[in-house]
Amino acid sequence: MEKDREAGAPPVRLAFRFGYLGDRFGGSQVQAEERTVEGEFIAACIRCELFTDFREARFQTGGRTDRGVHARGQVAAFTTHAPDRAIKALNWQLPPDIWVNGYAEVEPPFNPRYAARSRTYRYYFPPRGLDLHSMADAAQIFLGTHDFSAFARIQGKDPRRTVHSIRVAAEDGLAFIEVRGESFLWHMVRYMAASLLLAGQARISRDDIARHLETGEKCCHTPAPAFGLVLWDVDCGIVFAPIPPDSRTERHLGQLRDRHAVMERICSVFEESIG
C-alpha cells in the first residue's frame, strides 16, 4: 500500500503484533499516574493522526502485563482512516522500548483479548546450579485443567485454568520455562516459575508441586520476579504481514534475547525473598 486511502473511504480495523521491554513501564494497561505500554502506544497513534479518541477507535490489546514484564508477541488493534500511515509511521513515533513487527487488516468487530486462542509466556533465568531435567519433569504436573489457587493470586476469579503445553529448555546461555494456555490468573506463570526454580534447586520435589496443586496451599511465599517474564505470543489466528525492523528494533530484540546481567539477578532476588 503506497498511500493512505482516499478521503471518505470507510475506516479500516488493523491489528499489530508488537513487543516491548517492560523495565520502565508501570504495567501495560493505561493508568493516569504511570507510564504504561498502552498509554505510549495510544500517544504515538494520536501523534500520527491515526485517531483522536482511543475509545472511539476501540483501541484494544490481547491482555495485560504487570510492571516490569516484557513482551515479544503482544497484539493491539484499532480502527483508523489512515491505515497506510499507521503501517509506515508507527515505529517512528513509538518510544524506543516499544516496537511493531507485523500487521493485518481484520474484521470490524475484532477484539484481540477475546479473539485470542492461546497465550504463551516464557520465564527466563540463568541455568547455573539448576537441574533442568528435574524441572522439566515437574513442569508436566501443570498440564491440563486444574484449580491453580496455590499458584496464583485469585482475587475472586475462577481459579480453574487449562495449560495446553509447558516445557523447560535452554538457548543462548539462558534457560526458560515456556507455558501456553488460553488464559492465566494474576501472577500464575510467575508462581509456576518460582516452584520450578525450587525444583531445579532440589528444594522441593515433583510430588510436592502435585500436592500443592491438589490442596490449594501456596507452594511459594512469593512469585518469581517480574523482570524474567516475557509474553511470548498471543495467537489470534491471524497471519501478520511483516513490518521490516529498523536498526532500533533489531537492537531491542537483541536486548530481549540477551539479558544475561538482568537474569543473573533472578535467582539471587528470588532466593532472598523466600529466605
* Fold agreement (12-115+236-244, 118-229): yes
3-state helix, strand, coil in the chain (%, to 5): 35, 25, 40
Determine the Cα–Cα distance for residues 32 and 26; give it in Å rounded to an integer.
Answer: 11
Structural domain spans, the chain: 12-115+236-244, 118-229
Cα distances (Å, whole numbers) of residue 94 to 3, 21, 38: 20, 13, 11
- pLDDT tens, the chain, 275 aa long: 445 565 567 999 999 999 988 889 999 999 888 999 999 999 999 999 999 999 999 999 999 999 999 998 999 999 999 999 999 999 999 998 899 999 999 999 999 999 999 999 999 887 788 999 999 999 999 999 999 999 999 888 999 999 999 999 998 778 999 999 999 999 999 999 999 999 999 999 999 999 999 999 988 878 998 988 999 999 999 999 998 765 555 555 555 555 544 555 444 544 454 44
Whole-model pTM: value is: 0.88
Q: What's domain 118-229's architecture?
A: 2-Layer Sandwich (3.30)
Q: Which helix (H) or strand (E) holds 29?
A: none
Annotation says 66 is catalytic = yes
Catalytic residue among 4, 23, 66, 208: 66
- Selected from 3.10.310.40, 3.30.420.10, 3.30.70.580, 3.30.379.10, the CATH number assigned to the domain covering 12-115+236-244 reads 3.30.70.580
